[in-house]
């Protein structure tokens, strides 16, 4: 029973503190007497007259034609961006090709060395090494 009593007291103190705080007055619903003097009140800031609204949309709906200078400038920007992309991809492809070529060369060198070591190890002295045979033919 003591915990229910303590809970009740804490809820009561929170309720009193909230009701006495200054923020509680601003969150309260205004009375109907305040709305009689200015019926449009905050709605004036949100809504505009019909004529103003139609003029607003009429001005925004029509898009002015671009001049030839604007069209040319846009085309130059597009072409420059395409050229930068093309150069970037070409550079990337060249780097990859050179990397792949170096890897192939290293692999060829390793396989040549291992083949040479195998021939030296298995050479019995009876026949000349294969490299001499190839060079003589």
**What sign results for the dihedral spanned by CA atoms 127, 132, 136, 137?**
positive
The 10s digit of each residue's pLDDT in 8-52 is 889 889 888 877 776 655 555 555 555 455 555 665 667 777 877
Cα–Cα separations (whole angstroms), residue 23 to 18, 27, 33, 134 = 8, 6, 21, 100
Q: Are 57 and 63 in contact (CB under 8 A)?
A: no
Provide the mean pLDDT of the chain.
79
Domain extents in the chain: 70-136
Predicted confidence at residue 49, as pLDDT, reads 79
Higher pLDDT, 61 or 53: 53
Which residues have CB under 8 Å from 119's CB, separation 6+? Answer: 129, 130, 131
Predicted TM-score (pTM) above 0.85:
no
The 10s digit of each residue's pLDDT in 88-117 is 999 999 999 999 999 999 999 999 999 988
Both tokens of 4, joined, read 């229910």
């Amino acid at each position: 029973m003591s915990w229910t009593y303590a809970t009740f007291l804490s809820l009561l103190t929170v309720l009193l503190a909230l009701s006495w705080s200054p923020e509680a007055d601003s969150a309260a619903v205004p009375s109907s007497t305040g709305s009689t003097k200015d019926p449009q009140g905050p709605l004036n800031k949100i809504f505009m007259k019909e004529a103003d609204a139609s003029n607003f949309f009429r001005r925004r709906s029509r898009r002015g034609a671009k001049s030839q200078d604007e069209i040319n400038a846009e085309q130059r920007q597009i072409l420059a961006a395409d050229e930068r992309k093309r150069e970037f991809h070409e550079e990337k492809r060249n780097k990859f090709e050179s990397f792949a070529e170096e890897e192939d060369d290293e692999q060829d060198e390793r396989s040549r060395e291992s083949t040479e070591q195998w021939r030296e190890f298995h050479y019995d002295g009876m026949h000349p090494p294969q490299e001499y045979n190839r060079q003589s033919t």
